[in-house]
Amino acid sequence: MAEKSYRDAIREAMIEEMDRDPNVLIMGEDIGVYEGTFRITAGMLKKYGSKRVIDTPIAEAGMAGTAVGMAMLGLRPIVEMMTMNFAIVAADQILNHAAKVRYFSGGQVDVPMVIRGPQGAGVQLSAQHSQTFEAFYGHFPGLAVVAPATPADAKGMLKTAVRGKDPVIFLESAALYGMKGEVPEDPDFTVPFGESRVAREGSDVTIVSYGRMLQLSLVAAEKLSKEEGIEAEVIDLRSIRPLDLVPTYASVARTHRAVVVQEQWKPFGAAAEIAASITEEMFDELDAPVARVTGEDVPMPYARNLELLATPHEPQIIGAVRRVMYRE
């Protein structure tokens, strides 16, 4: 194990997979000469050359469509979106082509490609650069959608994505790039999709989250323990599609209360699907309605004070826990 940042864990995963398999390549805007907006591809153009580290025009639909064709012919492209907000331009290629080729071909054609990049709030990136997309992509069969919350999971899940046979939407929280954590150095270390984990054990309430909100949930859980004697169990979903709620159900069977935390807007979000699933499966175990903690239902403001008000933080999670425990 070695301590690495979330950013370096992603970079290391790509380098290890490019060393392992000559069919792996990466393409995107400013990833070569400029070495990436977030410096994730630093040094990779010099190491692998312009045929495997491809600087593209500002043409997200072209990037995604080219990657679909490459993947169908046996290559393993990684498409870096400067921000996942820009991938909206490529929605037709991603949703109508990448996600459906296996179905259209009767299972005869693989599409081993990864579309990765940052999402969510940064600092004053405003409304067109601060959105989250797990519910958007998670709605469509044919895609895997993952949102790692730790450097170890970022590395292990990206390696799983690159080695797979189907298109993967790999959602990186922009605000986590600098976060550090222990990461296995084994080049064969992978983390499977569709296996959530218990990130913190507890007996009083279950908090379910993923991505950056998982880290906020852990901080909130520690504050609840120290200040109020409430022990929250925190579940890290890790992937949205496939979605593993078995550990969540087992936790709710013990705690009888649940809070689901997401960064995106409340209407039609991932938390709605998760909360509905908990209610459907565990209704007789619940002692309170499942609570949701979400961002405010507004475009992201530019002003920092308003941006902070529009995004979830630990106090909102703590408040939701108090409500399901009937303490406020």
The catalytically annotated residue of 12, 17, 60, 233 is: 60
Could you read off the pLDDT of 223-257 as tens digits, one per residue?
999 999 999 999 999 999 999 999 999 999 999 99
Q: What is the pLDDT of residue 328?
A: 80
Q: What is the pLDDT of residue 268?
A: 97
Q: What is the pLDDT of residue 6?
A: 97
131 phi, psi to nearest 5 deg: -85, 160
Told to judge if 60 belongs to the known catalytic residues of this protein, a careful annotator would answer yes
Where do the domains of the chain lie, and which CATH numbers do they carry? 2-183 (3.40.50.970), 197-324 (3.40.50.920)
Q: Which pTM was predicted?
A: 0.96
Please say whether the dihedral angle defined by the alpha carbons of residues 116, 119, 122 and 125, taken in this order, is positive or negative: positive
Q: What is the pLDDT of residue 122?
A: 87
Q: What is the pLDDT of residue 83?
A: 96
Q: What is the pLDDT of residue 34?
A: 94
pLDDT, averaged in runs of 10, over the chain (328 residues) = 96 98 98 94 97 97 98 98 97 98 97 97 92 97 98 98 98 95 96 98 98 98 98 98 98 98 97 98 98 97 96 98 94
What distance in Å separates the CA atoms of residue 129 and residue 300, rounded to the nearest whole number?
9
What distance in Å separates the CA atoms of residue 302 and residue 98, rounded to the nearest whole number?
34
Sheet holding 144-146, edge to edge: 53-55, 24-28, 76-80, 114-119, 168-173, 144-146, 239-241
Q: What is the pLDDT of residue 168?
A: 98
The catalytically annotated residue of 129, 172, 233, 307 is: 129
Could you give the count of Cα atoms lying within 13 Å of 227 in the half-sphere of its Cβ? 9
Told to judge if 313 belongs to the known catalytic residues of this protein, a careful annotator would answer no
Cβ 310 vs Cβ 302: under 8 Å: no
Cβ 94 vs Cβ 65: under 8 Å: no
Q: What is the pLDDT of residue 230?
A: 98
Cβ 274 vs Cβ 220: under 8 Å: no
What distance in Å separates the CA atoms of residue 7 and residue 148, rounded to the nearest whole number?
12
The secondary structure element, H or E, covering residue 248 is helix 246-255
Q: What is the pLDDT of residue 65?
A: 98
Q: What is the pLDDT of residue 183?
A: 98
Cβ 174 vs Cβ 121: under 8 Å: yes
Judged by DSSP in three states, 8 sits in helix
What distance in Å separates the CA atoms of residue 209 and residue 251, rounded to the nearest whole number?
13
